[in-house]
Amino acid sequence: MKITGATVLEFRRTLDGRSWNPSMRWHERRAPLLVLRAEDGTFGIGEAWSRQSGIDSALKHLAEAVAPRLIGQTVDAGAQWPTHEAKPGLPDWVAPAAASAVDIALWDLRGKILGMPVWQLLSADNSAVRGVAAVYASGGLYRDGSTEADVARELAGYVEEGFTAVKMKIGGLALRDDIRRVGAVRDAIGPAATLWVDAVNQLTGDVAMTWCEALAQCGVGAIQAPVPFADLGAMARINRDGLPVVAAEGEHDHDRFVAMLNAKAVTWLQFCLGLCGGFSGGAQLDAMSTAFGVATTPQCFSTAILQAASLHFGAARGNAGSVEFHRFHDHLAALLPAPMRSIVDGHVRLDETPGLGLGPITLGPQPGGGEIRVHAHLGAH
């Protein structure tokens, strides 16, 4: 079956600017989306990771270099293109992100054509898979005017919803102030819940161990992105002597993932399906990580399209120990079907709705905030 249409969409949502992490303040969230149409009228949708400062480059690349070359290809053949290589004149993440959106859309499309959910397609050779993904609630950003009690109440609320693991930001305040925040959260969620922290690459190698010692005393189970990803030596020391390290969600280069594993710099190999090559690239990384005896965890901080993709991946791959379920960046959450919104004992049980199982994509204002607009349309209407 051939691809007869491709539409590049942009999701855009204005935020109040009061929430922030150690590297940026959230005034707006934009996301590049790609819809592919097969000749029988079936649609598949994918999403590309993006730096907010470079999203226009990603939209332009999808519309001008990617989508036109997909028209006329068969649904299966389309998976062989495009490559993940960086393109001259573009930020190095743009081409890999665009390729990832294509891969996700094709898996969604194939699942719908075959009448199978993506998690079943991904696990076709493993009859033991039952479509259940372990998840953790991601939130705990800094917010102007909020208190330690406020962030503690927020994360305790996620545990009440059914999550057994949560993650919060650190590194934006002085050590003693952040430790008070973390301690308040630990007290609020109780000793049984798993607590991770995310330093957004903001610590330095010479102070990271001091932070890890204090965090461990608060019952923190792992630290995401403690230092810049290029500092493999510091990451390896932290992973060995401090706290288990989770990294690297903003990475797309296969060789750098290999370097992290070889250096024993991570306990959890983290990647974003919207950047690492979609389901196909994620499966390769997961297989490689399995060979090293390292668990994987899909990262997600965008719309329901990427959230659904991450849940399908986690439900299909036994080595994917936990999937990020973002509670701040939960854009387009109304598209998620009821099973994906139901958290029971830290898990999501996916159903057998074909493809990603999402609700229909509509243009214009969206329930819950934001809007979807057409950036470019090619081929069939």
Confidence category of residue 127, pLDDT binned at 50, 70, 90: low
H/E element holding 198? Answer: strand 194-198
pLDDT above 90 covers what percent of the chain?
90
- H or E stretch including 348? strand 347-349
As a whole number of Å, the CA-based R_g of the chain is: 20
Considering the chain, tell me which residue range(s) the CATH 3.20.20.120 domain(s) occupy: 121-349
Average pLDDT over residues 320-333: 96
Location of each CATH 3.30.390.10 domain in the chain = 3-115+359-379
Burial status of residue 293 (CB atoms within 10 A of its CB: 0-12, 13-18, 19 or more): exposed
User: What string of DSSP letters covers 288-327?
Assistant: HHHHTT-EEEE---SBHHHHHHHHHHHHH-TTB--EEEES
pLDDT in tens, 13-26: 999 999 999 999 99
Give the pLDDT confidence score for residue 310 in this predicted structure. Answer: 98
* Average pLDDT estimate for 60-87: 78
The per-residue pLDDT for range 105-120, each reduced to its tens digit, is 999 999 999 999 999 9
Tokens encoding 122: 């991904």
Q: For the sheet with 24-25, list strands across it.
A: 24-25, 19-21, 142-143
Residues 3-115+359-379: name the CATH superfamily: Enolase-like, N-terminal domain (3.30.390.10)
* pLDDT tens-digit readout, 205-264: 899 999 999 999 999 999 999 999 999 999 999 999 999 999 998 999 999 999 999 999
pLDDT at 351 over 70: yes
Burial class (CB in 10 A: 0-12, 13-18, 19+), 54: middle
Which one is predicted more confidently, 375 or 85? Answer: 375
Reduce the secondary structure of 28-53 to three states and give it as a string: EEEEEEEEEEECCCCEEEEECCCCHH
Which CATH number, 3.20.20.120, 3.90.1150.10, 3.60.10.10, 3.40.50.970, labels domain 121-349?
3.20.20.120
Q: Which structure tokens are listed for 112? A: 């719908």
